[in-house]
Chain A
Amino acid sequence: MAIAVTGIGVACGLGYGKTAFRKGLLDAPNLFSVLKREGREAADGEIPFIGVELLDLPETLPPRLARTASFPARVALTVLEEAWSDAGLDGIDPDRIGLVVGGTNLMAREQALAARSYADRLAYVPPRHGHMFLDTDIGGLCASRFPIRGFCQTVGAASASGSVAIIEAMSAIRSGRVDVCIALGALQDLSAHDLHAMRSLGAMGSARFSEEPGRACRPMDADHDGFIYGEASAALVLTRSEWAGAGKIYGTLLGAGHVADGTRGPEPNSAGQVRAAELALREAGLAAADIDYVNGHATSTSAGDIAELETWRALDLAHARINATKSIFGHGLSAAGAIETTAVLIQMQAGHLHPTRNLDNPLDAGLNWVGPGAGAVLHDIRHALKFSFGFGGIDTALVIAAPDIERRAE
Chain B
Amino acid sequence: MDSSKIVEMIIAEIRETVPELADEPITGADSMAELGVDSIERSEVILATMGKLGVKIPMVQLHGPKNIGELADLILDKSAG
Give Cα A24 to B44, complex, Å.
42
B48 interface residue (CB < 8 Å to A): yes
A126 touches B20 (CB 8 A): no
Q: Tally of A-B residue pairs with Cβ under 8 A?
A: 29
B46 CB to nearest A CB, Å: 10
- Decide yes or no: A64 and B47 within 8 Å by CB, A127-B40, A128-B40 being known contacts: no
Binds B, one of A117-125, A148-156, A159-167: A117-125
- Decide yes or no: A128 and B47 within 8 Å by CB, A62-B20, A63-B20 being known contacts: no
Contact with B along A312-341 (1 / 0, CB 8 A): 000000000000000000000000000000
B63 CB to nearest A CB, Å: 15
- Decide yes or no: A64 and B19 within 8 Å by CB, A124-B51, A126-B47, A127-B43 being known contacts: yes
Residues of B in contact, count (CB < 8 Å): 12
For B44, give its contact among A62, A123, A126 (CB under 8 Å).
A126
A64 CB to nearest B CB, Å: 5
A145: which B residues are within 8 A, CB to CB?
Answer: none
The main secondary structure of chain B at its interface with chain A is: helix
For B51, give its contact among A64, A67, A121, A128 (CB under 8 Å).
A121
Give Cα A63 to B16, complex, Å.
10
Residues of A in contact, count (CB < 8 Å): 11
A121: which B residues are within 8 A, CB to CB?
Answer: 51
B69 CB to nearest A CB, Å: 22
B19: which A residues are within 8 A, CB to CB?
Answer: 62-64, 67
Give Cα A125 to B47, complex, Å.
8
Give Cα A121 to B17, complex, Å.
19
B56 interface residue (CB < 8 Å to A): yes
B20 touches A124 (CB 8 A): no
Which residues of chain B have a CB within 8 Å of any CB of chain A?
17-20, 40, 43-44, 47-48, 50-51, 56
Q: A64-B20, A124-B47 are in contact. List 13 more A-B contacts (CB 8 A).
A: A62-B19, A62-B20, A63-B19, A121-B51, A123-B50, A123-B51, A123-B56, A124-B48, A126-B43, A126-B47, A126-B48, A127-B40, A127-B47
